[in-house]
Amino acid sequence: MPVSTSEVKRRAKTFQRGIDLPHNKHYTDGKAVERLPLPPFVVVPLRQHAGETVEPTVKPGDHVSAGDVVGDLDDRWCSAVHASVTGVVSEVEPRPFGDGTMVPSVVIRTTEQSREAPAFAERAGWQDLDQQTILGILKDFGIVGMAGAGFPTHINLAVRSKIPMLIVNGAECEPFLTSDHRTMIERTDAVIGGAEIIMRCIGADRCVFGVETNKPDAIEVLRDKTRNNPAMEVVPVAVKYPQGYKKTLLRAITGKDPPLGGRSSDVGCIVRNASTTAAIYEAVALGKPLYERVITVSGPGSVERCGNYLVPVGTTIRYVLESIGVRAEDLDGYKIIRGGPMTGLAVDTLDAPVVKPTTGILVMPPSAIQPQHEWINPCIRCSACVNHCPVGLYPNEISQFVEAGTPEAAEGLHIRECCECAICSYVCPNYRPVTHLVMEGKAMLRQRSR
């Protein structure tokens, strides 16, 4: 018997603490993915993943086609980088990344203005590839996590013993973002095909698609297409932030928590984001490197043509915004965020590029920006951050240790477990930059342990 929408919501699985945020998905969740006209040039950073910067394999004057390797390194922790347009390499030099740093990049002037994606033929026998072959393809085709820090996927999936369960993360819990949502309903076969490849790679015999209940069309199409596969199940999860953090999703679906400092694989599970799963299918089955991606462009009433756009990696934020009618000169006082409003980066230049983990570009008007002070307000011991921290930390105490310059004292409070969800800053009534302090403390500890 069909289950009603309200019943699906009532039964949806969830986790403790966290917060309810205004979703603001309505700006773009009904907008089908559109391919933007190709930019006149792209700036492809040679570091788009967690790990070492790769070495350029091209030089100025070289002709490249979309999908050609332009950077690589013989290092297990690296992921290859590819040309995202067909054109001529004009520069290989450091370019602004958007976070105040300069990153070695390959600049390619587009010579072919075709808007059509190159056709990729299905690789014969892709369903039978063994783990080592799959991992090699993922490294060479530049597959990294597309929703976070860009961790190389071939490292995540290099398990030595069988992991019984795969969770495909379709929660997409950050407000405004809908690129995973559109991927699940427009490239459903790729998401399911990618899940089959991961299951084969890690030896899993069960796959769960965890999707927030505010995406009923994605739940329906995934259920419809996996109906005849007893190893696959779609589990609606409650709309709550940060439902998409892998450990909260794992807890919501399985009720299990990895040990402190541990990983989801310690409790027999691997969690992969839906867009990454689709990219895995395209690399392994179709031979397509990761050189373009879908991003959501949105904001609270600030973008007329907000939507979901397919763009080459390396397209500048300036070009994306201008292509949809947002003029740079009209953005005085606005904050431009690469990613979601909670975990994204407020870029310091519109010349920053879209990179593999970029889920969206948000245009936040001055009225939507929290006031910033040069000083740090004191903690008033309200405990709001403690009550909402999804990991169960004491962000109030941790932040005070970091302020005092003694992050080591926060180690006993498990500072390293922080998932950087930004809830503690969001709920703090005294506008303390709690998340920033916790992240700073983690960075100080990393530095001091070198």
CB-nearer residue toward ligand SF4: 98 or 390: 390
3-state secondary structure at position 71: strand
Sign of CA dihedral 129, 131, 135, 138: positive
Q: Rounded to an integer, what distance in angstroms lies between the CA atom of residue 315 and that of residue 299?
A: 19
Residue 288 and residue 141 in contact, taking contact as beta carbons nearer than 8 Å: yes
Query: Which residues within the stretch 246-285 sit at the binding site for ligand SF4 (CB under 6 A)?
Result: none
What token pair was written down for 277?
Answer: 């799963």
As a whole number of Å, the CA-based R_g of the chain is 21
Q: How far apart are CA 277 and CA 245, in angstroms?
A: 16
- Is the C-alpha dihedral spanning 226, 228, 233, 236 positive or negative? positive
Q: How many residues bind ligand SF4 (CB under 6 A)?
A: 28
Cβ 13 to ligand SF4 shortest distance, Å: 20
CA distance linking residue 78 with residue 6, whole number of Å: 45
What's the closest the beta carbon of residue 432 comes to ligand SF4, in angstroms?
5
SS3 state at 252: helix
Give CA 101 to chain center in angstroms.
20
CB-wise, 141 or 245, nearer to ligand SF4?
245
- Alpha-carbon distance 428 to 376, whole Å? 12
Helices (H), ranges, 89-207: 131-140, 153-156, 179-186, 188-202
Q: How far is the CB of 257 from ligand SF4 (least distance, A)?
A: 14
Q: Which amino acid is at 178?
A: T
What does DSSP assign to residue 135? H
Nearer to ligand SF4, 344 or 390 (CB): 390
CB of 276 to ligand SF4, least distance (A): 22
d(CA 410, CA 400): 9
Question: In angstroms, what is the minimal distance from the CB of 196 to ligand SF4?
Answer: 33
Minimum CB separation of residue 271 from ligand SF4 in Å reads 17
User: Taking the complex as a whole, how short is the minimal distance between the CB of residue 383 and ligand SF4, in angstroms?
Assistant: 5
Question: According to the binding rule CB under 6 A, does residue 343 interact with ligand SF4?
Answer: no
Distance CA 222, CA 250 (A): 19
Q: Are 144 and 356 in contact (CB under 8 A)?
A: yes
Nearer to ligand SF4, 87 or 339 (CB): 339
- CB-wise, 236 or 339, nearer to ligand SF4? 339
Per-position x/- string for 1-30, each x denoting binding to ligand SF4 as judged by CB under 6 A, each - no binding: ------------------------------
359-398 footprint of ligand SF4 as x/- string (CB under 6 A):
--------------------xxxxxxx---xxx-x-xx--
> Closer to ligand SF4 at the Cβ: 108 or 423?
423
Q: Are 311 and 354 in contact (CB under 8 A)?
A: yes
Residue closer to ligand SF4 by CB (options 351, 440) is 440
Interface map 416-435 toward ligand SF4 (x if CB under 6 A): --xxxxxxx--xx-x-x-xx
Q: Which is nearer to ligand SF4, 409 or 419 (CB)?
A: 419
- Interface with ligand SF4 by CB under 6 A: which residues? 379-385, 389-391, 393, 395-396, 399, 418-424, 427-428, 430, 432, 434-435, 438
